[in-house]
Amino acid sequence: MTKFGPAGNSPLFYQSGGKTSAEVPAWLKSIGLNAYEYQCGRGVRIKEQTAKEIGDAARKYDIAVSIHAPYYINLVKEDREALGKSQNHIMKSLYAASWMGASTVVFHPGGVGKMDRKEALLLAQKNLEETVNLIQQKGLSQIKLAPETMGKRNQLGTVEEVLALCQVADNIVPTVDFAHLHAVSGGGLTAREHFEEIVDRVEAVLGMKVLKNLHVHFSPIEYTAGGEKRHRNLEDEGFGPDFSPLAEIIKERNLSPTIICESSDRQAEDAIKYMETLEKLQ
């Protein structure tokens, strides 16, 4: 079954009387959603007790939980101190995920800077392999680490680059952010075949099991010549990508992805609209 939910706590949650993140799973259940991506983009500050409370509520209300790791992570680093900081952000995210019972930790691979993209990818793969060894030593390999496709040209995170990172270890899976891919391609996701190319490539490289349970980010997005500018929402006219082609593929191929909506200030409302789009097909 496809799961839908918001990235973080939607303004609608607070407008509905919600106060703490531990209340989010019950609220999501009440509005028909069944996934939640807890945001640690500005740092992992959640306490163990709070994380466990969120996890308990998520299990009670059957809400699939993931975590977005800090934005500061950059695996394209030769400097050991800088790399160590990124690895620490990843480890702290994984500990939070273990307390919360989250299945997946999403992270940004890093910036290319002045490096050749191939060299940047090789360095990121090497550093990710080292990070995976640390994860194994701490007994956290049961949580999936999910590099995200990125929306700016100066970031590591094309489909091919993310799939290459995923081949470093079995517990690494992709987060396919279709909004980012739309932005970095200058509005290139306009037809069903554009979505099929991405989906087919994931299956070809990582197999049907990974594709069937794909972790997805989706929202309208605004972009410039350099790629992503900012996330929009479905009330903003003229911003893609359209969810309908992906919904058709999900239905026809019997996929069960988790769709996390990152729409600006309407992530819960838009997640419901995406869910309804799929339900109409089914």
Number of neighbours of residue 210 by Cβ within 10 angstroms: 18
Per-chain mean pLDDT for the chain: 97
H/E run at residue 259: strand 258-261
Give the separation between CA 146 and CA 176, rounded to whole angstroms: 9
Give the separation between CA 232 and CA 266, rounded to whole angstroms: 9
Residue 207 pLDDT: 98
Assess contact for 78 and 123: CB atoms under 8 A: yes
Residue 203 pLDDT: 98
Give residue 65's identity as a one-letter amino acid code: V
pLDDT digits (tens, 9 = 90+) for 182-205: 999 999 999 999 999 999 999 999
Q: Is the pLDDT of residue 282 over 90?
A: no
pLDDT digits (tens, 9 = 90+) for 57-96: 999 999 999 999 999 999 999 999 999 999 999 999 999 9
Give residue 225's identity as a one-letter amino acid code: A
Give the separation between CA 241 and CA 67, rounded to whole angstroms: 24
pLDDT digits (tens, 9 = 90+) for 105-163: 999 999 998 999 999 999 999 999 999 999 999 999 999 999 999 999 999 999 999 99
Question: What domain count does the chain have?
Answer: 1
Task: State what percent of residues in the chain have pLDDT above 70.
Answer: 100
Residue 237 pLDDT: 95
Assess contact for 176 and 216: CB atoms under 8 A: yes
pLDDT digits (tens, 9 = 90+) for 36-49: 999 999 999 999 99
| Domain containing residue 273 | 3-281
The CATH number of whichever domain residue 170 belongs to comes to 3.20.20.150
Give residue 215's identity as a one-letter amino acid code: H
Q: Is the pLDDT of residue 164 over 90?
A: yes
Task: Give the position of tokens 């790791």.
Answer: 69
Task: Give the position of tokens 């359209």.
Answer: 242
